[in-house]
Structure 1
Amino acid sequence: MEKGGNSGNIGARKPILALGELLVDLVPGREGMRIEDAGPVVKTASGSAGIFACAATLLGGRGGFIGKVGRDSLSRMVAGTLRGQGVDLSRLIVSDEGQMGLAFLEYLPEGRNYQYYRKNSVGSLLRASELDAEYISGAYAVHFPGMLLELTEEMRGACERLVEIAREKGILVSFDPNIRRELSADAAARARLLWAVRHADVVAPTLSEGQMITGETSIGGVLRALHAMGPRVVALTRDKDGAVLSRGGEVAVAAGIDEEPVDPTGAGDTLAAALCVGLQEDMPLARLAAFCNCAGTLVIKKKGAIGMALPERGQVDAMVASGVCRVECMPLESLV
C-alpha cells in the first residue's frame, strides 16, 4: 500500500492531508448540563477533518489541513490550536466571507447530541478553484469526510477536485462516510456518497454505515461489497466491539477494549488517521488493526478532541505493546 513515505525519518515522509471545515465545539462545563441551560462551557477546536489532521500528526505522520477560516477571534483560536499540534496550515485560507461555525454539545443518557450553528460558515465556502494542486500532488494521502458533500455546493466542488487531483497523481484517497441519518433517504445524497466510496482507496465507515451503503447485514458481506465497489482497504468500526480491517483478501478482527467511554468525539477520525499513518509505514495487518483500535479507544477517555483528548504515538504504541487489544486474522472468504 506504500505510495510514498516510509517508517524512517518523519521529516522525509510525504504529508497526509485532510480537507474540511473547522469548527468550535462548546462542551458543557458541568455534568448533566443541557444546551438550553445557562452555565459554563469549554471551547475546543473541532471539525472532523481538523481532528484527522491533528491525529495524523500526533501519531507520527506529517498532517496538513486544507480549508478556510475567517478573521474572527474563534477562527484565530482554532487555527492556533491546530498549529500548536504541529499541523501544516500553509494552505489554510483566511477569508472575509464569514465567521467560524459552532457546535453545541450535550451529553444525554442515549448519547451525544449536537446543535450546529454553521449555515454559510466561512469554513463551508472552500471552493475547488482555491485548492493548490501542486501542494496536493506532493502528498502521500488525502482524506475527507462525507458530510462535506452535503454542506454547500462550494465545498462539494472542492471535494470533487481534491479526488480528481489525487487520482491523477496516484495519491491515496481516504474517505470517512460520516453519514447523517437525515440524509440517508435522499437519493441525490446517496449517489454522491457512492461516488466517493468508488473513488476511494481506503474507507472507514462504522458497521452500520457499511450496512447502509451496501445493503448487506453481515460483516463479511459488508466487507466484500465495499471492496467490490473499489476500495482496497476497509476499516469497519464497531464502537465498544472494536474494529475490523480488510486488505488483500485478509481480515484482522480487533476485539473491543474494556474502557469506560467519557466522550466518543473524534474516535472515528482518529482511527482513520491511524489507518493512513500505519499504511504509510507499511504495518502488517494485525499490527495495523491493533494500532488503529488503540488510537480510537484512547480518544474516548476525555472530553473534547483537539488539544485535549487526542493521543500521542507513544501512548498508542504502549497500549499495543501491553497486549490489551486482541487481534485475530483470517481470510476474507472465510468471514461470514
Structure 2
Amino acid sequence: MTVLTFGETMALTRAADTGALAHTSTLHLGIGGAETNFAIALRRLGVDVAWVGRVGQDSLGDLVERELRAEGITADVIRDPDAPTGLMVKERRTATATRVWYYRTGSAGSRLTMSDIADDRLESASLLHVTGITPALSDSARKTTLYCVERARALGIPVSFDLNYRRALWSPEEAGPVFRELIALSDIVFAGEDEAAIAVGDGDPAELVARVRDLGPRESILKLGDQGCLAVVDGETFSLPAVPVNVVDSVGAGDGFVAGYIADRLAGESPGDRLRTAVTVGAFACTVSGDWEGMPRRDELGLLTTAEPVTR
C-alpha cells in the first residue's frame, strides 16, 4: 500500500541556540514542509509513501530531493528552472516560543499544476493525504488539490485532509469556504481547535469535532496539543490525553500525529489504538529541534513511557 501526498517542501534554516536571530551567527540548514513531515513520519512507521512537488533548479532543491530519498520516500520531484526553492526561517526566541518566517512567494512549490500528478501515481494510491497549505499557495495549487481529491473520491480512494491553516498565506474568510469544500470530500479530517473554528464556527472541542463530522467525513479528529485529542469515528467518540514530554520544538508535532493515526488505520488497528500511536508520534516530534528529525520508528514508540533510561 502506498500513501500519496503532495505540496511544497522548503529549505529550512534554524538557529543553533535560543535567542533573537539578529544576534545569531550560526544557522542549521535542513528542509521542512507539512506534507513531507507527514511522509517521513509515515515511512518511519513502515508505510510506503510517494510525494510529489516542485523545487527550484538550485542547491536547495538538491537538498530537498536528497533528504526525501534518504528517508525512503518515493519522490516525484519536478525541477523548475524558472522559480526558486522556497525558504523557511525558524527562530527560538525563548525556550518555549518559536517564530517562523516564510519566503515562498513565487516559489517553485507554489507553481504546482494538475499535470504534475501522474494519473498512475494517484490511481495506485491506497490513500491520498492533503493539507490546507497547498490550496493557499496559488490558484493552480488550489485547483490541483481539488482535482486530486475529487478524482480520488471517484476512484474510491480514501482521502485524509489536515486543515493546517497558515495565516501568512490567506485570511480565515478566504480559507473557510475551501476548508468546508475539502472536508465534505474527505473521509478523514484533522484540525486544531482554531482551524476547525475557521471552517465551522466557534465552539468547544465537542461542538467543533461534531460540526466537522456533520459536513461529511466518517472520521473527525481534533488535535488539542498538550491536552491530547478528541475524535468521532463512525459515530463513536474517543478522547485521549497527550503523552507528556519536555518540549524542545513543537513544529511538526501535528504532522506526526496525523502520520501515526494513518499508519495504524492502514494496519487495521482500532480507533483507540490509532489515537494512541498518534499522540505518541506527535510527542516524539516535540523532543528535538527540527520539523521531522524526531519522528520515531515503529520499534521506538515505547521509549517515551519506559522506566529504563538505557536500553542495552
Q: TM-score range by the shorter chain?
A: over 0.9
User: For the residues of structure 1 that align with 2:303 and 2:269, how far apart are their CA atoms?
Assistant: 16
Inter-CA distance 258–186: structure 2 relative to 1 (3 Å threshold) = closer
Matched, 1:104 2:89: yes
Matched, 1:315 2:300: yes
User: Offset at 1:256?
Assistant: 2.0
Provide Cα deviations, 1:90-144, integer angstroms capped at 9, x if missing partner.
x221221222110111123462211111111111111012221221111111111
For 2:12, give the aligned amino acid: D
User: For the residues of structure 2 that align with 1:113 and 1:227, how far apart are their CA atoms?
Assistant: 32
User: For the residues of structure 2 that align with 1:30 and 1:186, how far apart are their CA atoms?
Assistant: 33
Partner residue in 2 for 1:3: none
Provide Cα deviations, 1:216-246, integer angstroms capped at 9, x if missing partner.
4222211211111011112211111112232
User: What is the RMSD computed on CA atoms of the aligned residues?
Assistant: 1.9
Matched, 1:130 2:116: yes
Matched, 1:116 2:102: yes
User: Offset at 1:18?
Assistant: 1.2
User: Offset at 1:62?
Assistant: 0.6
For 1:168, give the aligned amino acid: A
Task: Indicate conservation of the 8 Å contact 1:176/1:204, yes or no.
Answer: yes
Partner residue in 2 for 1:144: 130
Partner residue in 2 for 1:30: 17
Matched, 1:15 2:2: yes
User: For the residues of structure 1 that align with 2:284 and 2:62, how far apart are their CA atoms?
Assistant: 28
Matched, 1:44 2:30: yes
Q: How does 1:1-336 map onto structure 2 within 5 Å?
A: 14-32=1-19, 34-89=20-75, 91-109=76-94, 111-181=97-167, 185-306=171-292, 308-316=293-301, 318-319=302-303
Question: What number of residue pairs does the alignment pair up?
Answer: 306
TM-score (norm 2): 0.92
For 2:2, give the aligned amino acid: P
Task: Indicate conservation of the 8 Å contact 2:228/2:279, yes or no.
Answer: yes
Inter-CA distance 27–217: structure 2 relative to 1 (3 Å threshold) = same
Q: Secondary structure at the match of 2:295?
A: coil
Q: Secondary structure at the match of 2:246?
A: coil
- Structure 2 stretches lacking a partner, 5+ long: 308-312
User: Offset at 1:320?
Assistant: 8.2
For 1:270, give the aligned amino acid: G
For 2:73, give the aligned amino acid: V
User: For the residues of structure 2 that align with 1:43 and 1:64, how far apart are their CA atoms?
Assistant: 24
User: For the residues of structure 1 that align with 2:218 and 2:306, how far apart are their CA atoms?
Assistant: 29
User: For the residues of structure 2 that align with 1:228 and 1:49, how far apart are their CA atoms?
Assistant: 26
Q: Secondary structure at the match of 1:162?
A: helix
Q: Secondary structure at the match of 1:223?
A: helix
- Structure 1 stretches lacking a partner, 5+ long: 1-13, 324-336
User: For the residues of structure 2 that align with 1:46 and 1:185, how far apart are their CA atoms?
Assistant: 23
Inter-CA distance 128–232: structure 2 relative to 1 (3 Å threshold) = same
Higher RCO (CA < 8 A, seq sep 6+): 1
Provide Cα deviations, 1:226-278, integer angstroms capped at 9, x if missing partner.
11101111221111111223201222211122211100111111111122111
Q: Secondary structure at the match of 2:25?
A: coil
TM-score (norm 1): 0.86
Task: Indicate conservation of the 8 Å contact 2:177/2:199, yes or no.
Answer: no
Task: Indicate conservation of the 8 Å contact 1:204/1:236, yes or no.
Answer: yes
Task: Indicate conservation of the 8 Å contact 1:299/1:310, yes or no.
Answer: yes
User: For the residues of structure 2 that align with 1:286 and 1:174, how far apart are their CA atoms?
Assistant: 18
Q: Secondary structure at the match of 2:62?
A: helix
User: For the residues of structure 1 that align with 2:98 and 2:245, how far apart are their CA atoms?
Assistant: 18
